[in-house]
A = this chain, B = another copy of it.
Amino acid sequence: MSALLLGPDGPRVGVAEGSERPGEATIALRLGGVCATDLELCKGYMGFTGVLGHEFVGEVVDHPESAWIGRRVVGDINASCGECPTCLAGRPTHCPSRTVLGILGRDGAFQHHFQLPAGNLHVVPAGVSDEAAVFVEPLAAALEILDQVHVRPTDRVVVLGLGRLGQLCARVLALTGAQVSGVGRGGRGVDRLPHGISGVSLEQADALAGADLVVDCTGHKDGLALATRLLRPRGTLVLKTTVHDTGAVPVTPWVIDELRIVGSRCGPFAPALRLLASGLVDPTPLIDGERSLSDGVAALEEAARTGVIKVVLRP
């Protein structure tokens, strides 16, 4: 019963030692997805140690309500207290005492069986494949943009960075009818964009100046300056990736041009499942590799390689 563990010496396959959480649901992994955050955690982000993994589709093997057992599910990764002022104000993903699956104070999904609060689970409709459902968590994160910002069909939108999250953000933003362009460093990821979304390399990005909305998915400190350059006055910059070390940030142009900057993290699962069920978003062509859980370290290495978008793990 192997697990992909992150210890002080880096990632390894081993046996998880986490204790059982009474009252929670237990899920058997069907398919997991490697995310850029997993690669950041391996570099020390959040100081996390334990079982990695927060993108998954699985089968319920234990649940307080027996009707759930055997159902195919995905799950919100933030486990909140439900009782504090932040939770009661309708912001449970920001609960100050939350744990986060495979990221903060809670073992993740890259093991044969793992746990989440029963209330975090969402049933996957029969018509949605495991290969699509494994994208629900990052697809929900992309939808968070539309929950935070009013994107209009007449807007010009630029997505910076065409990796795992950028590809999903571009697809979700294109649903609004807006004119969406993607920018990939060295043109990377441009060939993975679906019909109707144009892509350019970083060197050509300045031709996209005057955008109403720029989404920074670069994971690179230079993203902020480029985004600032591409926005029209009073435009909106959505920050999707956490960057450890920012250089000096162009705050004066933000004031003069009255830009809006919006930090954006986890999003709503139900609409993500609807978009997969309807086929309006099909992320499955983004899968570049599949590994077994016992081959998890190699999966992380593969996911870190230039040009690779999604690597999935099977138990």
Give A contacts to B, CB under 8 Å. 86, 91, 94, 144, 148, 224, 232-234, 239-249, 251-265
Contact B244 A246 (CB under 8 A): no
Top 7 closest pairs, chain A to chain B, by CB: A94-B233, A249-B249, A254-B263, A261-B261, A255-B263, A242-B252, A258-B263
Q: How far is the CB of A161 from chain B (nearest CB, A)?
A: 14
Asked whether, in the complex, the Cβ of B94 is within 8 Å of the Cβ of A234, the reply is yes
Which of B249, B251, B258 contacts A148, CB < 8 Å? Answer: B258
In angstroms, Cα B255 to Cα A86, docked, is: 17
Is B256 a contact partner of A265 (Cβ separation < 8 A)?
Answer: yes
Q: List 11 A-B contacts (CB under 8 A).
A: A86-B233, A91-B233, A94-B233, A94-B257, A148-B258, A241-B255, A253-B263, A255-B265, A258-B262, A259-B262, A260-B263
Q: Are A249 and B246 in contact (CB under 8 A)?
A: yes
Nearest-neighbor residue (CB-CB) of A90 within chain B: B234
Residues of chain B contacted by A261 (CB below 8 angstroms): 254, 260-262
A255 to chain B, nearest CB (A): 4
A94 surroundings in chain B (CB, below 8 A): 233-234, 257-258
B254 and A258 contacting across the interface, CB-CB below 8 Å: no
Chain B residue with Cβ nearest A89:
B232
CA A232 to CA B260, docked complex, whole Å: 18
| Residues on B with beta carbons closer than 8 Å to the beta carbon of A252 | 242-244
In the complex, the answer to whether B251 meets A248 with C-beta atoms within 8 Å is: no
Determine the chain B residues whose CB is within 8 A of the CB of A144 once the complex forms: 258
Inter-chain CA distance A60–B91, complex, in Å, is 54
Partner of A251, one of B91, B246, B255, B265: B246
Contacts of A253 in B (CB 8 A): 263
Contacts of A244 in B (CB 8 A): 252
A164 CA to B258 CA in the complex, in Å? Answer: 20
Give the CA-CA distance A240 to B258 in the complex, in Å. Answer: 9
Contact in complex: B251, A239 (CB < 8 Å):
yes
A242, closest chain B residue (CB): B252
Residue pair B243, A246 in contact (C-beta under 8 Å): no
Q: Give the shortest distance, in Å, between A256 (CB) and chain B (any CB).
A: 6
A263: B residues at CB distance < 8 A: 251, 253-260
Q: How far is it, in angstroms, between the C-alpha of A221 and the C-alpha of B266 when the chains are bound?
A: 29
CA distance A234 to B95 in the complex (A): 12
Q: Residue of B at shortest CB range from A94?
A: B233
| A86 surroundings in chain B (CB, below 8 A) | 232-233
Shortest C-beta distance, A8 to chain B (Å), equals 22
Within 8 Å CB of A259, what residues of B? Answer: 262-263
How far is A94 from B232 in the complex, measured between Cα atoms in Å? Answer: 9
Q: How far is the CA of A247 from the CA of B258 in the complex (A)?
A: 20
Supplied contacts A251-B263, A255-B265, 19 more A-B pairs, CB within 8 Å: A86-B233, A94-B233, A94-B234, A94-B258, A148-B258, A240-B255, A242-B251, A242-B255, A242-B256, A243-B252, A244-B252, A245-B248, A248-B249, A249-B249, A253-B263, A254-B263, A258-B263, A258-B264, A260-B263
